[in-house]
A = this chain, B = another copy of it.
Amino acid sequence: MPVPTIDWKGDAETGVAEIVDQTLLPEAFKIVEIRTVEEMADAIKGLRVRGAPAIGIAGALGAVLGMQGVKDAGFDEFFAKLTDVTNHLASARPTAVNLFWALERMRRIARDNEGKPTGQMKQILLDEALKIRDEDKRSCRDIGRHGAQFIKDGDTVLTHCNAGGLATADYGTALAVIFRAHEDGKRISVYADETRPLLQGARLTTWEMKTAGIDVTLICDNMAGYVMKQGRINLVVVGADRIAANGDAANKIGTYSVAVLAKEHGVPFYVAAPSSTFDLSMTSGDEIPIEERDGREISHSFGRRIAPDGVKIYNPAFDVTPAEYISAVITERGVIKPVNEENIRSLLPNDKTR
């Protein structure tokens, strides 16, 4: 069920990015134009575009937008501006590494083409951004193909947050595994954690499942343990925002709790993510920066105040699941199982971007 999460309209000089505004779902499916790098950074910060692979693509297209005003610049001037632009975009969110990975690819392609005229450089940047998007589309399908083996006919899958088409170019990571199993004709059911505070599970995952005709049941995050205890769940599949060299995986807050519950109930726990999610510069998950967001996301999230004025709120947006809780990591290059540094390094390409 391809969702066109992010696209480009027009040429490199004057074109615009188009994103599905995910803050409006499920009440409205609206595609909005993003015309400047500032608008793109704000869209990432405000979660209008979200999901680790999707914000990588958004960052790359944001870099294209940020360079549109540059005319007939020498390479040093061009690259200095590109550095400003990518720094601005990189400051939008700290945890998902795909954003930094995509921005670094944009800088590298610029360096590799030093000396070309400004107009051509801009086209090269747009081509690279669209290449990142197209690679992600292929990655998603390959993740689905590699992961579907873990879902048997009749299985019920629990997922947390949204690692679907909306979180990627168009097919998802964790949800790609579910989409593919469904397309293969397996009869499957899904439980979606609502995923407080911003309810990506309630708003986005249920919407994607319903649109694809896959049986889905919404639960609150705190019900995951009980449904596992009842024997309703055969496996868990989630996405990831950054995976350290040892396999520790950062993902949406609450993922760690789900992993502990899965272990307690003997339920396999899978992480699905493209190889751009690995950050081999980090030896363990302890080094992954965890974004803390405004407490008002919790106390005021849906138009009604739900906590007393002035109460202290802790709002980490992510947590880290240690590798020992993860049954396998499903990537576009294949499956990492058991999850350890040796298996990770042998599957991943040894290039400078990770």
Chain B residues with CB under 8 A of A298: 194, 202, 218-220
What are 24 inter-chain pairs, A to B, with CB distance below 8 A? A26-B307, A26-B308, A194-B196, A196-B221, A196-B222, A202-B306, A203-B307, A207-B308, A216-B311, A217-B314, A218-B295, A218-B312, A218-B313, A219-B298, A219-B314, A221-B221, A221-B254, A223-B253, A223-B257, A223-B314, A225-B257, A225-B319, A226-B316, A302-B304
Chain B residue nearest to A257 in the complex (CB): B225
Q: What number of copies of this chain does the assembly contain?
A: 2
Contact B299 A301 (CB under 8 A): no
Contact A226 B319 (CB under 8 A): yes
Q: Cβ of A130 < 8 Å from any Cβ of B?
A: no
Query: Nearest chain B CB to A211's CB is how many angstroms away?
Result: 9
Contact A254 B222 (CB under 8 A): yes
Chain B residues with CB under 8 A of A75: none
Q: Cβ of A231 < 8 Å from any Cβ of B?
A: no
- What CA separation (Å) do A309 and B26 show in the bound complex? 9
Contact B222 A222 (CB under 8 A): yes
Q: Cβ of A27 < 8 Å from any Cβ of B?
A: yes
Contact A225 B307 (CB under 8 A): no
Chain B residues with CB under 8 A of A229: 256, 319
Q: Cβ of A331 < 8 Å from any Cβ of B?
A: no
Chain B residue nearest to A219 in the complex (CB): B314
Instruction: Give the residues from 183 to 204 in chain A that come closer than 8 angstroms, CB to CB, to chain B.
Output: 191, 193-197, 199, 202-203
The count of residues in chain A whose C-beta lies closer than 8 Å to any C-beta of chain B is 57
Q: Cβ of A227 < 8 Å from any Cβ of B?
A: yes
- What CA separation (Å) do A312 and B226 show in the bound complex? 17
Chain B residue nearest to A225 in the complex (CB): B257
Contact B216 A306 (CB under 8 A): no
- What CA separation (Å) do A311 and B298 show in the bound complex? 23
Instruction: Give the residues from 276 to 335 in chain A that come closer than 8 angstroms, CB to CB, to chain B.
Output: 295, 298-299, 301-316, 319
Chain B residue nearest to A201 in the complex (CB): B307
Chain B residue nearest to A161 in the complex (CB): B222
Q: Cβ of A108 < 8 Å from any Cβ of B?
A: no
- What CA separation (Å) do A194 and B312 show in the bound complex? 12
Q: Cβ of A224 < 8 Å from any Cβ of B?
A: yes
Query: Nearest chain B CB to A84's CB is how many angstroms away?
Result: 35
- What CA separation (Å) do A221 and B219 show in the bound complex? 13
Q: Cβ of A264 < 8 Å from any Cβ of B?
A: yes
Chain B residues with CB under 8 A of A217: 312-314
Query: Nearest chain B CB to A286's CB is how many angstroms away?
Result: 11
Query: Nearest chain B CB to A313's CB is how many angstroms away?
Result: 5
Chain B residues with CB under 8 A of A295: 218
Q: Cβ of A261 < 8 Å from any Cβ of B?
A: yes
Known contacts: A216-B311, A260-B260. The answer to whether A305 contacts B225 by CB under 8 A is no
Chain B residues with CB under 8 A of A196: 194, 196, 220-222
**Counting chain B CB atoms within 10 Å of each CB, which of A219, A298, A307, A313 scores highest?**
A307
Chain B residues with CB under 8 A of A260: 225, 260-261, 264
